[in-house]
A and B are shown apart, each in its own frame.
Chain A
Amino acid sequence: MKLSCTLALAAAAFAAGACSSLETVQPWEKGYLAKPEMTFEGDRLENAYMEHIYFSKEAASGGAGAGGGGCGCN
């Protein structure tokens, strides 16, 4: 867990630093941020297909969250 603990602390520091040095975006200024293409989710089925393909052809995997099913493809 050592590397992930270090990175988690870096993420928290990043957030703290970002919060303190950035101007607050007001609720009425979030129109562009609310667009679906500005989120990080993307198309669920397309992402699932592509992640499965990369999982079966490359050694690296994951990154966006915890979990996801395994397969005999790797």
Chain B
Amino acid sequence: MAATDARNSHGALVGQAILAAAMTMPCLQQAARAESAPESALLSYKYLDYQESQPGEERIGVKAQAVSLLMPFAGAWSVQGSYTKDVVSGASPRFWTKGSASMRDTREAVDASVTRYFSHDTLTVGANFSDENDYRSKGFAISGTHATEDKNTTFNYGFAVSNDDITALGLEESKRKVDWAFGVTQTLTQTDIVQLMVTDVDGKGYYSDPYKFNDMRPDSRHQNTALLRWNHHFIGPGSTLRMSYRYYTDSWDVKAHTFGVEYFQPLPDGWTLTPSVRIYDQSAADFFVSEADFPGSGQYHSYDQRLSAFGAHTYGLRVSKTFENRWSVEVMYAKYLQRTGWRLFGEGSTGLDPFDASILQLGVSYRF
């Protein structure tokens, strides 16, 4: 605990130093010029229909609605807010992919942020809050960017804290997380831009799942990611290829690789088509107990399929139509398939059924 406190204190001091340096840079003392502020406001609505399936078992279905507003004001500022309401129903497995724990719950979430734009910098402060019948989350975040004089290189930084309260099944538990993010965005050519982001998340508190059979997890979790993204524009067809790779590792010994590819193709009359593929691989948490290892030994153990070793594919297609450069309507359908035999690096856990999910999103937005 003392070492962790020292680490958090060190991280907080580094963050304060970065913010202090940012605040004293000459560019921030100049009169603001809103070169990067949005030119117009954007109001968006999106509906989600999500349905899981697993052989022989009822699984979770979610119907959600969300609305988001982005609005510039006073030339060098913008404000953004969103509200989401999920209705979750169905059942999730109690151990591995067996058993059923039926449930129905409504979750509401709100978030808001304010951004100040400077000639070469931005600074964003935001908060988020979500509430469901057995879980409440509150968070605060600050982030910013700093561009070099030629604006071909941009440094990104972010800091966030969150507090979660868990009251499921009569519990009175909590969880606290501190996030750091650093990155750099670099234009390579007229048609290429890349970004590398690294994050560090330190969490302490209650991580076990009270709805899962005999689930006992550590009271801390340290997570790190490195995310590399590359966008390339094809001048001839006017299309854009968006590629990404994320490496993830944590103190539960989970290691994951995520590869993503999207191909954005504009079509005549304001139509666009975007097919996408996501390939995911994860190793098991060191306290995950597979069928072969049952009943397991040690202080921590979980039979949660989501902590097992598996691979997953997502195949998606988004179609959108824009009217008079103001109204935009879009439909996105994706299929998510999770299989223990689809790992890229290593063996999958045994004795777990396939897991599928269908994802349908319908959206409309208005620019004004």
Residue pair A68, B185 in contact (C-beta under 8 Å): no
Given contacts A32-B233, A37-B264, A62-B225, contact A67 B139 (CB under 8 A): yes
Q: A29-B190, A57-B338 are in contact. Are A69 and B162 (CB under 8 A)?
A: yes
Candidates B128, B231, B312; contact of A69 at CB < 8 Å:
B128
Describe A's contact surface by its main secondary structure: loop
Chain B: minimal CB distance from A15 (Å):
4
Q: Are B199 and A63 in contact (CB under 8 A)?
A: yes
* B137 CB-CB contact with A under 8 Å: yes
**Contact of A70 with B11 at beta-carbon distance under 8 Å, contacts A4-B200, A19-B152, A19-B186 already known:** no
A74:B181 contact, CB within 8 angstroms: no
Instruction: Give min CB distance, B39 to chain A, whole Å.
Output: 11
1/0 contact string of A35-58 vs chain B (CB within 8 Å): 101111001111011100110111
B100 at the interface (CB under 8 A from A): no
- CA A36 to CA B231, docked complex, whole Å: 11
Interface centre among A23, A31, A49, A57 (most CB of B within 10 A): A49
Q: Does B223 contact A (CB under 8 A)?
A: yes
Docked Cα-Cα span, A53 to B338, in Å, equals 13
Q: Which of A18, A37, A72 contacts B134 (CB 8 A)?
A: A72
Say whether A49 contacts B46, CB under 8 Å.
yes
Q: Shortest distance in angstroms between A31's beta carbon and chain B's nearest beta carbon?
A: 8
Looking at A33, A45, A54, A67, the one whose CB has the most chain B CB atoms below 10 A away is A67
Known: A45-B82, A61-B223, A64-B227. A15 touches B306 (CB 8 A): no
Of the candidates B130, B137, B227, B359, the one whose C-beta lies within 8 Å of that of A53 is B359
Chain B residues with CB under 8 A of A33:
187, 190-191, 193, 233
Is there contact, CB below 8 Å, between A35 and B240? yes
Interface string of B227-243 (1 = CB under 8 A from A): 10101010100001010
B188 interfacial by beta-carbon distance below 8 Å: yes
With an 8 A cutoff between CB atoms, is B153 at the interface?
yes
Instruction: Answer whether residue B84 sits at the interface, using C-beta atoms and an 8 A cutoff.
Output: yes
Contact string against A for B residues 7-28, beta-carbon threshold 8 Å, 1 for contact and 0 otherwise: 1001100000000000000000
Tell me if B66 is interfacial: C-beta within 8 Å of chain A.
yes
Q: Which residues of A approach B to under 8 Å, CB–CB?
A: 1, 3-4, 7-8, 10-12, 14-15, 18-19, 22-25, 27, 29-33, 35, 37-40, 43-46, 48-50, 53-54, 56-74
Q: Which 8 A-B pairs have the closest CB atoms?
A: A67-B160, A72-B135, A66-B158, A67-B141, A60-B256, A4-B200, A60-B248, A66-B179
Name 23 A/B residue pairs within 8 A (Cβ), A-sorted. Answer: A1-B200, A7-B226, A11-B182, A11-B196, A15-B155, A15-B184, A18-B186, A19-B153, A22-B152, A24-B150, A25-B190, A33-B190, A37-B240, A45-B68, A45-B82, A49-B359, A59-B252, A63-B197, A63-B258, A67-B141, A70-B137, A70-B164, A72-B135
